[in-house]
Amino acid sequence: MRIELWTVTLLLSLPGLASAATPGERVEAAAASGKHSYVMFYRSDDDRTQSMAETIEGFVSQRPDETSWVKVNVTDSAGKDLVERFKASRLPLPAVFGLAPNGAITFVRKLAVDTDTLEGGIVTPQCSAMVEALQRQKVTVVCFHPSGSPAIPKGVQALARDRNLGPQLSFVSAIADDPAEARFFQRMRVERDITSPAVLVFAPPGSFIGRFPANVSSATLAKAIHGSGKCNCKKCRHGN
């Protein structure tokens, strides 16, 4: 894997060869470098397309270490894999997707985009893990820990061991004194000076089930998850 990364990076650094990479490959390379990508689809180079392109270009040029972007014509075979992945030929165009390095889609916008949206599409590593899990149809339990205390609450641990619910769940942790996750705390409205863990539960594709204290029992969590009507465990899928 590392060899491949180096290979791609080397190849892309060679003049003339970078432009030969397909948009899909360029997105993969950006992800490999830990960058967020903006994938813009268009059909014709009209005013809207140009406006969107300028906005994205302007933003990315100010954050070259964090972001990159590609512009894909839906009729061009070079971008066929991205067009098919996002069914772009059936979208109102131009349209732009924000992708985290782990492949999670952080936003999608049609016809126009602003810099606030582009900014908001840059998420922390744990946040992108949460979004990616939700996009895999997993109920996601996010533990926000106080500084220096990454211990997973017991109730959450017990929940992970639940035979019915466990396979439906994904777990993410963020620690208050990790500067990389500061924005995650802020976006999830969790105070960074918490003295005990806060447990937040989300159902796919993106609904907030609840916030629980550190001493929450697995039974309480399970009840909240089943009761949300958004659980896909065997019990809920069979309508029990």
Partner 1 sequence: MRLFGMVWSEMVRRPGPSAAALVVVAFGVAALVAVESVATSSEKRVAGQMRTLGANVLVLPAETTLQDYYAADSHGESLPEEYASRITMAQLKGVEELSPRLSVECELDESSVVLTGVLPRQEFYEQSAWQSFDLLTADIDSFETGGGLGRKHEGCCGRTCQLTTEEKRSLASYAKTRIVHELDRDSVLVGADVAEEHGFAGGETVRLLGADFRVAGVLPRTGTVDDARLLGHLHRVQEVSDSGPVVNVIEVMGCCDAMAADLVGDLKDLLPGARVVTIANLVEAQVTVNGLMKRLSYVLFAVLVVLGGASVASVMFANVSERRRELGTLMALGATPSTVGRMVILKAATLGVAGAVLGVGLGAVSAYAVGLRYLGFTVSTPPAIVLTGFGTALLVAVVASYVPARRAARLDPCTCLQEL
Positions in the binding site for partner 1 (CB under 8 A): 87, 89-93, 97, 104-110, 123, 127, 131, 134-135, 137, 187-189, 202-208, 229-232, 236-239
CA distances from 142 to 59, 79, 156, 173, 192 (A): 30, 35, 10, 6, 15
Nearest approach in angstroms of CB 220 to partner 1 is 18
Q: What is the C-alpha to C-alpha distance for residues 214 and 212, in angstroms, rounded to an integer?
A: 7
* Sheet strands side by side (includes 207-212): 169-175, 139-145, 198-203, 207-212
- Shortest distance, position 144 Cβ to partner 1, whole Å: 13
Dihedral pair phi/psi, residue 199, rounded to 5°: -110, 120
Residue 78 Cβ vs partner 1, minimum distance, rounded to whole Å: 20
**Number of Cβ within a 10 Å radius of residue 54:** 10
Q: Which is nearer to partner 1, 50 or 186 (CB)?
A: 186
**Which is nearer to partner 1, 154 or 235 (by Cβ)?**
235
Nearer to partner 1, 12 or 174 (CB): 174
* Cα 116 from Cα 5, distance rounded (Å): 31
Q: Which is nearer to partner 1, 69 or 97 (CB)?
A: 97
Q: Which of 71, 54, 59, 4 is nearest to 33 (CA)?
A: 4
3-class SS of residue 200:
strand
- Specify the residue, 15 or 229, whose C-beta has the smaller distance to partner 1: 229
Tell me how far, at minimum, the Cβ of 19 lies from partner 1, in Å. Answer: 28
Find the shortest distance in angstroms from Cβ 30 to partner 1.
19
Q: Is the separation of the CB atoms in 143 and 202 below 8 Å?
A: no
